[in-house]
Homo-oligomer: A and B are copies of this chain.
Amino acid sequence: MPPPAAVNIDVGADAVDDNSSATTPEFLTVLGVDELRAKTVFSGGIAAVGLSDAFKSKSNTKKPMSKDFTYRLTLESRSRQPSPLKQAAQYLSRKGMISLGGGLPSSAYFPFDHVSVGVPRGDLFSESDIHEYAHNVTIGKHDMKEGTSAYDLSVALNYGQGTGSPQMVRWVTEHTEIVHNPPYQNWACVMTVGSTSAFEMCLRSFCNRGDFFIADEYAFCSAIEAGRGLGINAVGIRMDSEGMIPSHLDEVLSNWDEKARNAAKPFLIYLVPTGQNPTGSTQGGQRRREIYALAQKHDLILIEDEPYYFLQMDEYISPNAARSNGNSNGSAATPHPKNLDEFLKGLVPSYISMDVDGRVIRLDSFSKVIAPGSRCGWLTTSSKICERLMRHNEVTVQAPSGFSQAILFKLLDEHWGHGKYLDWLGYIRKEYSARRNTMLEACEKYIPAELASWTPPAAGMFLWFKIRSERHPAFGKKTMLEMEQEIFEAVIDQKTLLAKGSWFFAEPDGQHPDVYLRATFAAAEEGAMVEGIRRFGNALRISFGLPVMKET
């Protein structure tokens, strides 16, 4: 695949007129961040406390307060006490104080002088360009003392607070306000070691063994698995091409029979609203509003796990359709947002952006847009719940890796800033669009429509195949799981690995009449991806007893 042209989503003149203001803006924008920061004192020393409130714009103070959902917390979460050692940090701000208190090692014994990282220069975002023209950002050991940075290794590599570093809390708070602007006053962000950990913290904070939580009928298997160990099983809600079906959610909750289920009515709902894993479905704005209204009706806590939020793509147009419209090269037209404002406005609204009650816990992750190995993300919810989750961090993971935090800070805050990060997201979005299009075109070419169907995903990394198992020779003779295994193995025999739908059952013992397989267009190179789909098509033909396609 030739490297695509760098994407440059300029903050155009229109955007400036719309969003920036010499006086107080209505809400925080990319251009308003410098002004906001100029008004606040930033303190980011060793184990410094830095809560979101210090980094939010004044406009938040005009919003109403959230409801208080602490009554939903488990005994475990309510029992946690603040760490006395972390509390003692308050004394350290007194002038002339000598600390012989905390067991923080001296940074003199960190065997690292600096960390230097090659990152994209300007808009040169492709891998080959980053390699050829890398811009080096360097984190020194004592940059803060030397006044050259707001963060350095002497701080990042020492112990920190359960919120994560003030440097990163500031950045994610600003980003969250720019992109989502939660409609209540007392929202806050806490850094996490990734959304897998954050979701498990939420399970432990809101559910006890024997409780249920609500999920899509096909759901992210680590979330289901995390629950299984805790004895907190999922109730799967039926899905359509936009994910969870509100009427079924309402039906399940309205008719919950505590005696028959031997469990209280569930109140925790887990969603991946954008580019859902495994189905690739994306909930539109209307769908989200309906589900949020049901969350209000049934008083739910709604966990929105959004690793793929920025991998929202333009509508897919089949090359056949495009060709018939005179697009001679056969590739789908992918109109691209002209500027940041258009990019942000074009995103499907998040649950946190419509969360007037404070009942949403949004999980953000760098895994799909920067790198999974950063093991760094954040969550956003009302400050009292944040405080409890932060206490959980304190006695478990403590905080994300200081290497991760320092490198992300250098890239996101000092090198890119919010605007250029959004440009990067626009680039990634375009890349994944192209990958999706490649896979979809291969599917149209190689997969017989009579054996499998799929919906072009509007976001994410996944394509979800519904297998026409009723046409399978073993239909009626074998169980659905047996047919799935047979087809899966036929694909393996063709040296291609897909994921089985049954791996994602929210309720392993539930009714699942259909066979599904999941493919990702995230990982393989273009040629391998097309070849993998060709092999999958052949495997289906073999499994269904049809003649194999000739090489083309």
**Which of B118, B209, B406 touches A114 (beta carbons < 8 Å)?**
B118
Q: A283: shortest Cβ distance to chain B, in Å?
A: 19
For chain A, residues 50 to 100, give those with C-beta under 8 angstroms from any C-beta of chain B: 75-77, 79-81, 83-85, 88, 91-92, 94, 96-100
Instruction: List chain B residues, Cβ under 8 A from A104.
Output: 372, 520, 522-523
| A24 sits at the interface (CB 8 A) | no
Q: In whole angstroms, what is the CA distance A196 to B193 when docked? A: 14
| A160 sits at the interface (CB 8 A) | yes
Instruction: List chain B residues, Cβ under 8 A from A83.
Output: 221-222, 225
Please judge, given known A-B contacts A119-B113, A375-B397, A403-B373, whether A103 and B522 are in contact too, CB under 8 Å: yes
Instruction: List chain B residues, Cβ under 8 A from A404.
Output: 401, 403-404
Q: Are A98 and B524 in contact (CB under 8 A)?
A: yes
Instruction: List chain B residues, Cβ under 8 A from A108.
Output: 126-127, 431
Q: A400: shortest Cβ distance to chain B, in Å?
A: 7
Instruction: List residues of chain A with CB under 8 Å of any chain B CB.
Output: 75-77, 79-81, 83-85, 88, 91-92, 94, 96-120, 125-127, 130-131, 134, 136, 141, 156-160, 193-194, 196-197, 200, 209, 221-222, 225-226, 228-231, 277, 367-376, 391-392, 394-407, 411, 424, 428, 431, 461-462, 492, 495-500, 503, 518-525, 528-529, 531-533, 535-536
Q: Are B373 and A158 in contact (CB under 8 A)?
A: yes
Q: Are A495 and B111 in contact (CB under 8 A)?
A: no
Please judge, given known A-B contacts A100-B532, A497-B100, whether A84 and B221 are in contact too, CB under 8 Å: yes
Q: Are A407 and B500 in contact (CB under 8 A)?
A: no
Q: Are B229 and A97 in contact (CB under 8 A)?
A: no
In the A-B complex, list the 10 residue pairs whose CB atoms are closest, starting with the nearest: A373-B402, A401-B401, A113-B118, A157-B373, A101-B497, A157-B371, A226-B395, A403-B403, A98-B532, A84-B503
Looking at A160, A229, A392, the one whose CB has the most chain B CB atoms below 10 A away is A229
Instruction: List chain B residues, Cβ under 8 A from A524.
Output: 98-100, 106
**Which of B84, B105, B112, B136 touches A523 (beta carbons < 8 Å)?**
B105
Q: In whole angstroms, what is the CA distance A111 to B127 when docked? A: 8
Q: A157: shortest Cβ distance to chain B, in Å?
A: 3
Give 15 new A-B contacts, CB below 8 A, not counting A104-B520, A111-B119: A83-B222, A83-B225, A88-B499, A97-B496, A98-B529, A99-B523, A106-B525, A108-B126, A115-B118, A115-B407, A157-B371, A160-B373, A196-B398, A197-B397, A200-B396
Q: In whole angstroms, what is the CA distance A496 to B111 when docked? A: 28
Q: Are B396 and A196 in contact (CB under 8 A)?
A: yes
Q: Are A98 and B535 in contact (CB under 8 A)?
A: yes
Closest to A491 in B: B100
Q: A185: shortest Cβ distance to chain B, in Å?
A: 28
Q: In whole angstroms, what is the CA distance A88 to B222 when docked? A: 14
Q: Are A81 and B372 in contact (CB under 8 A)?
A: no
Q: In whole angstroms, what is the CA distance A268 to B92 when docked? A: 36
Instruction: List chain B residues, Cβ under 8 A from A157.
Output: 371-374
Q: Are B397 and A110 in contact (CB under 8 A)?
A: no
Q: Are B103 and A462 in contact (CB under 8 A)?
A: yes
**Which of B116, B499, B518 touches A115 (beta carbons < 8 Å)?**
B116
